């Protein structure tokens, strides 16, 4: 009789590897599909300010966030703006990018990651820039350590 449990002539069951591989591949594809590919791109060189009241990110809003990294260069006395691994020498160049991202996502929020030594005027400039890009939801990154 054809089919069945894969037993041989001796009546001993054989281990079937093909169905196991099929199940594992289906699980792999399932987990790849449900995992979000969006990762907040942060600048590791930025030393965030410390706040005892810093809260963890809301996981629901994490997929609607864009990180604006503002690094301070004390030697040259100027700031460096990085968004999605791209450097913007002139902060005005970022406005079209922000408008485009805002058009694609109504819930878009900017997470401003400023260096702890950054002068407040530099943060104010970027906040104005984000507003010109049509984004009203801004949060600030801080460390609780």
Q: What domains can you pick out in the chain, each with its CATH number?
A: 61-140 (3.30.420.270)
Question: How does pLDDT run across 91-133, given as a tens digit for each residue?
Answer: 888 899 999 989 988 888 998 888 888 898 988 998 999 999 8
CA angle at residue 143 from 141 to 145, to 5 degrees? Answer: 175
pLDDT of amino acid 128:
92
pLDDT greater than 60 at residue 84: yes
- CA–CA separation, 52 vs 144, rounded Å? 5
Q: What percent of the chain has pLDDT over 70?
A: 89
Q: Per-residue pLDDT averaged across 15-37, rounded?
A: 84
Q: Per-residue pLDDT averaged across 64-84, rounded?
A: 87
Residues 6+ positions from 69 with CB-CB distance below 8 Å: 41, 42, 43, 46, 81, 82, 83, 113
pLDDT greater than 70 at residue 89: yes
Res. 32 pLDDT band, cuts 50 70 90: confident
Q: Per-residue pLDDT averaged across 49-76, rounded?
A: 82
Q: Name the nearest CA neighbour of 79 among 121, 109, 49, 48.
A: 121
pLDDT of amino acid 25:
92
- CA–CA separation, 81 vs 71, rounded Å? 7
Res. 5 pLDDT band, cuts 50 70 90: low
Question: How does pLDDT run across 7-16, given as a tens digit for each residue?
Answer: 556 778 888 8
- The order of strands in the sheet holding 86-88 is 86-88, 78-83, 65-73, 109-114, 138-140
Q: Rounded to two decimals, what is the model's pTM? A: 0.65
Backbone φ and ψ of 127, nearest 5°: -60, -40
pLDDT of amino acid 12:
80
pLDDT greater than 60 at residue 3: no
């Amino acid at each position: 009789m054809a089919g069945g449990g894969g037993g041989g002539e001796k009546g001993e069951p054989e281990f079937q590897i093909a169905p196991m591989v099929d199940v594992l591949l289906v699980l792999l594809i399932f987990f790849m599909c449900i995992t979000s590919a969006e990762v907040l791109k942060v600048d590791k060189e930025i030393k965030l300010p410390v706040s005892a009241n810093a809260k963890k990110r809301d996981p629901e809003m994490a997929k609607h966030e864009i990180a604006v990294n503002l690094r301070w260069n004390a030697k040259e006395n100027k700031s460096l703006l990085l968004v999605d691994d791209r450097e913007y020498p002139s902060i005005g160049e970022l406005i079209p990018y922000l408008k485009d991202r805002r058009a694609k996502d109504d819930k878009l929020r900017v997470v401003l990651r400023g260096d702890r030594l950054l002068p407040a005027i530099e943060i104010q400039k970027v906040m104005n820039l984000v507003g010109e890009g049509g984004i009203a939801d801004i949060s600030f990154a801080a460390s609780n350590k």
